[in-house]
Amino acid sequence: MMQDGTLATSFAAQHVLAKSNPAILDWSGQAWEDWLRLQRNDEAFGGRPFAAVAFLDCLQDLRLNVGLMQLLAMPGLACSVVLAFPTAAAAKIARAHARREEWHELVRMLVSSDVPRLIDHLPADALLAAFSMPVMLDRQSLGRVTALVTGASEPSSGASTDGGDMFLGRAGDFAAWREGERSSEAFATTLRAMSVQDPKRIAIDRSTTVPPETSEPSLNGLNPVIQEFEGGLDMPGLRNGGELIVTAVRGAGESPVVVRHRGDLLDPDQSLRVRMPAALLTAVPQVIRAESRRSGERTVSQEFCFHVPPARLKPWMISAFLNRGGGGNPVVRAFANGVGCRLAYAEDEPEELQDIPVVWGVLRQSDRILAQAKRQGLYFFYIDHAYFNRGHGKTYRITRNAYEAGPVRECSGDRLSELDVDVRPWRKAGREIIVCPPTDYFMQAHGCPDWLDETLSGLRRLTDRPITVRMKPQPGEQAVPLPEALKKAHALVTHSSNVAIEAACLGTPVFVDGASAAAPVGLTDLSQIESPAYPDRDPWLAHLAYNQFSFEEIGDGRAWTMLLDLEERPYV
Amino acid sequence: MSEPRVLLCAPALTADESASGLEMLRALSLPSATKVLVTTGKFDTEKEAQAFNIEAGYPGETAHLQTLSRWAEVTEWPDARFRDGYDLFCLQRILSQREGFDIAVLLRDGFDFESRWSNLSDDLNGRMFLTREMSEGGGNLLINLADSRANRFLNRAVHFYLTGRAYALEPYDFDGALTIAAETVELEAGFDDLGPDMVGPADDSALADVEQAVSE
């Protein structure tokens, strides 16, 4: 269908219309949004089934298809839309774009060469329109559609507009239809007409009275069997007729349709693999309802829990976020490369997230992204400095739905042994308590602005031991080395700073917040300050080593593979 | 006749590529040429070229081009479409900030470039751009900035990649993509007479019959 020769045509049309008649592009875009709104509506709506196929180079061309939008805006039609692209890569990009706008499963998107096979699945007398190029429906074409809708005429054999860029008729005639050679004169005529057309006068209002539907497709054999399947649905068995509808069940009036496909536009020989929107990529299962319908009547309905386990996350679900400033961008780029996921700036991201986010640190909008992910119940990944051998360009920790490594999982000691971590015996004869407060920003960001004051007053109530406050050294500042500072320490108290890990390795018991990476080998209750814990540190250290990765491992995807593998390891 | 003012732009995606690009520029001594080396961070050009940090200002376009490549699920990285789009974006960005050139060269292959320069610049005469297919210019692109359409051409070429259209071109090659950008400019020129002031109810009566039929 659309091939190299037309790439320039549609590309030029974009720019010409944007300059000469942006209102018609706005109308077209609005008509599309209106149609999508109808598709997302859980309420069934009637109308004569009609399939419309538009051949595009990229999704940007969608608004050029004024003729398609005229059809979608017509009353009395229940349109199913197929968007066809010249290559698999172009189709994948369009699908990814559409997924972020949550309409990718409300249409069929495929490679142009697959269209004839798809049309073959339709009943021969099914109504079909196909647009090989952007067109605007003229009076004659609009009249023909109206006659079909109202039943004033039956579909005749396939017919096309001038230039052969539109098919309108029965699906059975599609194979015989051949697009005409599109001359530059024909293109110029269409584009000139679109350039001067008042958009107020090209569509029939949907509110116009519509005659009731008089014919229905057969629904025999429509009996979907839906199973949870790698972030999607596996649907063998859906055959001709009716619609498959999947709804995210959220409560009255808040249950959007996320999947809507006409049954006879699905390949009966293949499972339907659905990519769910971000709203369903949550850490906790969600209820969805799958049903088949015919003419507004629910024929089969099934509710079940939908959940993508963290070990089954896929690159298409992920967005890695750069920041405008800061030092994390190289590792975020490397992560996106290694995973093969979307890359964008945190500052440019709309409030509602459409993917599982990956961020570096908490500054420059990363904190906003994380807060939003938590609000939406999404999975998220957090990248920061590593526990051992840290430094930009060297190693980084990556954690899921937490800032730190979390509960200890069973890991071998192979990665730990490569890090050459100095682990000293527990010191049990120290006298002093060392308190290491977080930075002011950290305390504000983590909702504990008075952490230091509260910790000191708590300790003074609980013990007579000498207390030393050790502030985080500023860059370039000379400070007493930690091993030296801990020589006489009974315990180190901090919120979730990495200093607790160093202290635990140096043999100093630690008291930390439950979110700290050192929590598994420390205590979180200051009332036990006189009775510190001295556990075996080997499993914990091995676990930490499996939560941090070299820059190379992140960039070549090994880190991502290990992260997913870690999710399936049992807890210690 | 005075020498044309030439911009020699060596694009780079990494610090290693910047180092290679610097060596390529160092080997060239075209008269009236300004050498610009693309970098992605701090980089010492040893006064051999002007440094242009493409990440200064944190443009979203480079990330978007990478995203398109990933969404297309192209297995090789960097894929040719990403790389060509990225290099064109670098050139466009430089030209948006530095003016006064007659010829812009996206220099990706310095081999034998200087000895062929005289022929290349002659071939460019009367054309908007020149690539390998047209004059064996290596992987390089020469744009004739004296051509009034050149800016629009470069914008369309970059846009061709940013919109993902490049992934609709199969088989893909740089020359084909640039040719489409040039054809787009030509097609658009045929509509330069059109403007928003010409929009009107051109087909005002077209729907009357249809609306009536539907309402009946």
pLDDT digits (tens, 9 = 90+) for A103-122: 999 999 999 999 998 898 88
- Cross-chain Cβ contact B63/A192 below 8 Å: no
Query: Is A76's Cβ below 8 Å from some Cβ in B?
Result: yes
pLDDT score of B138: 54
Residue A237: the pLDDT is 42
Choose the CATH number for A432-536 among 1.20.120, 3.40.50, 3.30.70, 1.10.3470. Answer: 3.40.50
pLDDT at residue A53 in the model: 95
* B215 at interface of A, judged by CB pairs closer than 8 A: yes
Q: Would you call B194 and A192 a contact, using CB atoms and an 8 Å cutoff?
A: yes
| A561 CB-near residues (< 8 Å, 6+ apart) | none
Q: ipTM for the complex?
A: 0.91
B190: contact with A, CB 8 A cutoff:
yes
Nearest to A319 by CA among A354, A290, A365, A347: A354
Q: How far apart are CA A308 and CA A87, in angstroms?
A: 29
The answer to whether residue A94 neighbours chain B at the CB level (below 8 Å) is yes
CA distance B115 to B107: 14
Q: A223 pLDDT exceeds 50? A: no
**Sorting pLDDT into bands at 50, 70 and 90, what band is A270?**
low
The pLDDT confidence band at residue A238, using thresholds 50, 70 and 90, is low
Q: Is B68 on the interface with A (CB under 8 A)?
A: yes
* Of residues A11, A21, A143, nearest to B160 (C-beta): A11
pLDDT digit of tens for each residue in chain B (216 aa)? Answer: 678 899 999 999 999 999 999 999 999 998 889 999 999 988 999 999 999 999 999 999 999 999 999 999 988 888 999 999 999 999 999 999 999 999 999 999 888 888 888 888 888 988 999 986 555 445 899 999 999 999 999 999 999 999 999 999 999 999 999 999 999 999 898 887 766 666 555 554 444 554 554 454
Nearest-Cα residue of chain A relative to residue B156: A11
Label residue A570 exposed, middle or buried (CB < 10 Å: 0-12, 13-18, 19+): exposed
Tell me which residue in B195, B204, B210 faces A20 most closely, judged by beta carbons: B195
pLDDT value at position B73?
Answer: 92
For residue A220, name the pLDDT band (cuts at 50, 70, 90): very low
Cite the beta strand spans of chain B per DSSP E.
Answer: 6-10, 33-39, 50-53, 103-106, 129-130, 141-144
pTM (two decimals): 0.88
- Identify whether B147 is part of a domain: yes
pLDDT of residue A205: 53
Enumerate the residues of chain B whose CB falls inside 8 A of the CB of residue A149.
214
Domain carrying residue B92: 6-215
Subunit contact B167:A58, Cβ cutoff 8 A:
yes
B187 closest CB neighbour out of A12, A85, A93: A12
B204: nearest CB among A149, A201, A325: A201
Token pair recorded at residue B50: 């002007």
Which of A7, A142, A208 is closest, CB to CB, to B215? A208
In the beta sheet, which residues pair with residue A433?
A467, A491
pLDDT tens, A114-168?
A: 999 889 888 888 889 998 888 888 777 777 777 776 666 665 545 555 456 788 8
Question: A119-128, A265-274, A438-447, B86-95: which range is least confident on average?
Answer: A265-274
pLDDT digits (tens, 9 = 90+) for A293-329: 765 566 677 787 888 899 999 999 999 999 999 889 9
- Give the residue extent of every domain in chain A: 4-202, 227-308, 311-419+558-566, 432-536
- Residue B208 in contact with partner chain A when CB distance is under 8 A: no
Q: Which of residues 34-63 of A touch B (CB under 8 A)?
A: 57-60
| Listed ranges A231-235, A264-268, B113-117; the one with the highest mean pLDDT | B113-117
In a domain, B1, yes or no: no
Interface of A with B in 102-141 (CB under 8 A): 138-139
> Which pLDDT does position A204 carry in this prediction?
56
pLDDT single digits (tens) A2-41: 445 678 888 888 888 898 889 999 999 999 999 999 898 8
What is the model's pLDDT at position A235? 46
**Chain B hits for A331, Cβ within 8 Å:** none
Q: What is the pLDDT of residue A563?
A: 97
Please list every residue in chain A whose beta carbon sits closer than 8 Å to the beta carbon of residue B75. none
Report the distance separating Cα A91 and Cα A84, nearest Å.
Answer: 7
Of A57, A76, A344, the CB nearest to B63: A344
Number of independent structural domains in chain B: 1
Residues 196-215 of A with CB under 8 A from B: 196-198, 200-204, 208-210
- DSSP designation for A438: P
Question: Do the Cβ atoms of A147 and A169 come closer than 8 Å?
Answer: no
Residues in A touching B149 (Cβ below 8 Å): none
Phi, then psi, of B50 in degrees rounded to 5: -85, 135
B66 at interface of A, judged by CB pairs closer than 8 A: yes
Name the token pair of A508.
């100093």
How far does B32 lie from chain A, in Å, by closest CA?
35
Q: Is residue B100 part of a domain?
A: yes
Instruction: Check A333 against B200: CB less than 8 A apart.
Output: no
Query: What pLDDT, on the 0 to 100 scale, is given for residue A133?
Result: 83
User: Contacts from A378-383 at CB under 8 Å and sequence distance 24+?
Assistant: A378/A278, A378/A281, A378/A282, A378/A283, A378/A353, A379/A281, A379/A282, A379/A283, A379/A310, A379/A313, A380/A356, A381/A318, A381/A356, A381/A357, A381/A563, A382/A358, A383/A328, A383/A331, A383/A332, A383/A335, A383/A358, A383/A359
**Residue A209 C-alpha, separation from nearest chain B C-alpha, in angstroms:** 5
Q: Say if residue B85 is exposed, middle or buried (CB neighbours under 10 Å; 0-12, 13-18, 19+).
A: buried
The residue in chain A having the minimum alpha-carbon distance to the alpha carbon of residue B198 is A196
Is B167 part of a structural domain of the chain?
A: yes
pLDDT band for position A191 (cuts 50, 70, 90): confident
**Distance, CA of B87 to CA of B107 (rounded, Å):** 9
How far apart are alpha carbons A170 and A128 in whole angstroms?
A: 6
The answer as to whether B79 is a domain residue is yes
Q: Which of A24, A89, A208 sits opposite B214 (nearest CB)?
A: A208
- CB-based contact, B209 to chain A, within 8 Å: yes
**Nearest-by-CA chain B residue for A60:** B163
Q: Give yes or no for a contact between B95 and B150, defined as CB atoms under 8 angstroms apart.
A: no
Is A85 close to B196, i.e. CB distance below 8 A? no
Q: Is the peptide bond before B78 cis (omega within 30 degrees of 0)?
A: yes
Task: Tell me: pLDDT of A217 over 60.
Answer: no
pLDDT, averaged across chain A? 84
Q: Tell me the pLDDT band of A232, cut-offs 50, 70 and 90.
A: very low
> Which residues 124-163 in chain B show a CB within 8 A of chain A?
156, 159-160, 163
Of A8, A60, A324, the CB nearest to B163: A60
For B146, phi and psi rounded to 5 degrees? -75, -20
Q: So what's the pLDDT on residue A95?
A: 95
Identity of residue A333: R
